[in-house]
Chain A
Amino acid sequence: MKITTDGGLALDADRAPLSRFLKPKWSWIGNVLLLVYALLTLYPLVWLFISSFKTNQEFFGKPFALPTTWNFDNYKRAWEIADLGTAFVNSVIVTVSSIVLTLFLGTLTAYILSRLEFRFKGILMSLFVIGMLIPIHSTLVPLFIMMNKIGILDTYASLVLPYTAFELPVAIFVVAAYLTSVPKDLEEAAMIDGNGYWGTFFRIIMPLAVPAMATVFILGFLRFWNDFAFALVFINDQSLKTLPLSLSIFSDGYGTDYSLTTAAMAIAVIPTIIVYLIFQEQIMKGMVAGSVKG
C-alpha cells in the first residue's frame, strides 16, 4: 500500500475514469445512482439538523417536511435545560489536555524509538503494538477498580490518562513512520552545534514532525471528543460530564421532548462536522492510516 510522507494514503491519482468500468452511455445513470446513494447516506444527519428546528407536533406529524418556522429557540432551551455549557467546557478541557499530552509524549517517544540506538528498542516497539490489539472495553472494569483505589475516579484525570494511554501507540507509529522519511542531516548538525538531545528534540524534531502531529491531533480530537464508554464508567459527578455522556442522560430524561433532544444532539455534533468540513482530506487519510497501523 502506498503511504505518503505525511502518514496518509495517496488518493489523488486521476487516471482510471468511470468509463473503464461502465460503458459511457451508462455512466450518467451511474452518477445518478451515486448521487442517490450519497443523499441517502447523508439523510440521517440532515434529518437530525432539520428536526432540531421543528416543534414536537411537526416532528411527529411531518417527519420529512421542513419546519414551518425555524425554531432557533430549541438550541437555546436545550443548551440551558441540559446544561450543555458545562458539558461543552468539560469536553474541551478533557480533549485539549489529552491531545497535548498525547502529542508531546507520542512525538518524544517516536523520536527516541525511531532515531536513537539502544537495547530493548525492539521489545518496547512490540509492547506498543500489543496495545493496539487490546479492545478498550475490556479494560473498563479493571481501570474502574484501579482508579477507585488511587482516588482519581470522577476527576478529569480519570479520562485524560486512559485517553492518552490508548492513543499513544497510534501517535508513536504515525510520527515514527513520518520521521523515517526525513533525512538525519538536520539533527546531526544541531547536535554538533551543541543543542543536546532535548534541544534537538524541541528545536528540530518537533517542528519537522508537524505534518504527522497534525494527523495525530485530528485522530485524537475525534476519538476524545466523541468517547462515550470511558466517560460513562469513570464519571459520575454531574459537573464533570462530557457532551456524549450528558446527551445520553438528557435523552433518557427528556426522551419525549424531541425538539430539545435533537437540538442537543446537533450541538454535540456541530464541532466535529465543522472540523471535518475543513480538514476532510486529512481526516480521511489520517483515520485510515491510523486504523491500518492500529
Chain B
Amino acid sequence: MTISGRLRTFIIIGLLPALLIYAVFVLIPIFWSAYYGFFSWKGIGASTFIGFDNYAEALRDPIFWRALKNNLIIVVASIGGQLPIALVLSLILRKSTLFQRFVRSAVFMPMVVASVVIGMIWGYIYHPQIGILNFILDTFGLESWIRDWLGDPGINMYSVSVPVIWANIGPYLILFISAIQNISSEIEDAAKIDGAVGGKWLYLIVIPMIWDTIKVAIVLCISGSLKAFDLIFVMTGGGPAQSTELLATYMYNNTFEVFRYGYGSAVSTLIIVISMILVLGSQLLMRRK
C-alpha cells in the first residue's frame, strides 16, 4: 500500500468508532426528536401523525411558559449570585497560602458531590418540619420567618436557586483568579499610585480588564442553568402544582410519567431551540459590547 493509502486507512479506521458513537448518541437523537414531535405515541401501539399539534400545544401551555420563566430565574440567580460572590472571593484568594488554598478548596467542594446528594441535603435543610433552616429561625426567635421553603409557590423558585448558586461558585472563582493574575503588576502599581484602591480598583481596573472572562462566565451561567434538572427533580420534582417546573422536568414529567412520547419529543426539540437561542444570543450580545 502507498504511504497516502496507509494514511487514509488509518484516518478512516481511527475516526470511525468515535464518529459513530458520537453521531448515533448525540447528533441523530436531535433529528429523531424533531421527527417524533409530529406524532402522538403512547410508547406502545401505533403512532399517529398529527403535524405541528404537539409543538402548538406546548407553546399554548401556560406551564411550559412558567417552566421557561423558572429556567430564566435560575439564569438570573446564577449570574447575579455566583458571579459577584466569585469575583469578590477571587480578589482576596490570590495567594497560595495554606489558608487561602483551604478556602478555595471549600468553595469548590460541592462541584464534585453528586447533584442527587446536594438536592437531598438541601431538601433536609428546607424541610418544613425537621429542616435545620426553620430550626435556626425558631432558635433565634424568628418564628414569623418560618416557611415551607419548597412548598410555597411564592418563594420556592428562590429557595431552589440557593443550592444552585452554592454548588457552582467554584469554577467561576478559579476562572476569575486566573484572569486577575493576568493583569500586569505595572497596571496594578500605576492604579495604586493614582489612588484606585478598594471599590475603585474593582470597578475601574479589574472588571474592565477581565471583561472577556466575565463574558465567558455569563455564557457558562446560561448554558449551566439548563443542567439544573437533577437538583430540582430531587428537591421538588417540579412541584408542588408544577410551581418549580423547569423545561427539563416539564419534558420528563410529560414523557415518562404520562407516557406521551411524541409530546415529550416536541418539548425536547423546543429545549434545544431555546438553549441555542439563549447561548448564541448571549454570545452575540456580548460581542457587540
Contacts and interface: CB of A to CB of B under 8 A. Distances in A.
Interface of A: 1-2, 9-18, 20-22, 30-31, 34-35, 37-39, 41-42, 44-45, 47-48, 59-60, 63-64, 101, 105-106, 108-109, 111-112, 116, 118, 124, 127-128, 130-131, 133-146, 161-162, 164-166, 168-169, 172, 196-198, 201, 222, 225-226, 228-229, 232-233, 243-245, 247-248, 251, 258, 261, 265, 268-269, 272-273, 275-276, 280, 283-285, 287-288, 291-292
Given A9-B174, A38-B103, A261-B120, A134 B135 contact: no
Contacts of B91: 21
A222 B226 contact: no
Contacts of B8: 118
B275 A138 contact: yes
B258 interface: no
Interface stretch (B58-66, B104-112, B144-152): B104-112
Contacts of B174: 9, 11, 284-285, 288
Contact of B26 (A1, A21, A166, A251): A166
B92 A34 contact: yes
Given A197-B14, A287-B170, 7 more contacts: A44-B122, A48-B121, A134-B30, A142-B33, A197-B6, A243-B114, A268-B116
A133 B182 CA distance: 28
Nearest to A277: B105
Contact of B117 (A39, A138, A269): A269
Given A133-B276, A196-B6, A145 B106 contact: no
15 contacts: A11-B178, A11-B181, A63-B132, A118-B11, A133-B279, A134-B275, A135-B248, A137-B268, A139-B30, A144-B256, A166-B26, A197-B10, A226-B115, A228-B234, A248-B234
Contact of A35 (B96, B103, B264): B103
B38 interface: no
B140 to A, nearest CB: 13
A105 B11 contact: no
A137 B29 contact: no
A9 B181 CA distance: 11
Size bracket, chain B contacts: 35 or more
Given A196-B6, A269-B113, A284 B108 contact: yes
A112 B116 CA distance: 38
Contacts of A108: 14, 18
Contacts of B180: 16
B7 A116 contact: yes
B49 interface: no
Nearest to A34: B103
Contacts of B272: 134-135, 138
B211 interface: no
B36 A142 contact: yes
Contact of B268 (A44, A139, A232): A139
A116 B15 CA distance: 12
A1 B182 contact: yes
B201 interface: yes
A64 B132 contact: yes
A228 B230 contact: yes
Nearest to B93: A34
Contacts of B178: 1-2, 9-11, 288
Contacts of B89: 34, 37
Given A34-B92, A64-B132, A142-B265, A124 B185 contact: no
Interface in B78-118: 89, 91-96, 99, 102-118
Nearest to A198: B10
Contacts of A142: 29-30, 32-33, 36, 265, 268
B153 interface: no
Given A1-B182, A9-B178, A142-B265, A45 B109 contact: yes
Contacts of B279: 133
A1 B109 contact: no
Contacts of B239: none
Nearest to A62: B135
B103 A288 contact: no
Interface string B159-186: 0000000100011001101111110010
A31 B99 contact: yes
Contacts of B220: 291-292
Contacts of A34: 89, 92-93, 99, 103
Given A37-B103, A228-B114, A137 B271 contact: yes
Contacts of A168: 18, 21-22
Contact of B271 (A138, A198, A268): A138
A137 B226 contact: yes
Given A116-B11, A141-B251, A141-B265, A284 B130 contact: no
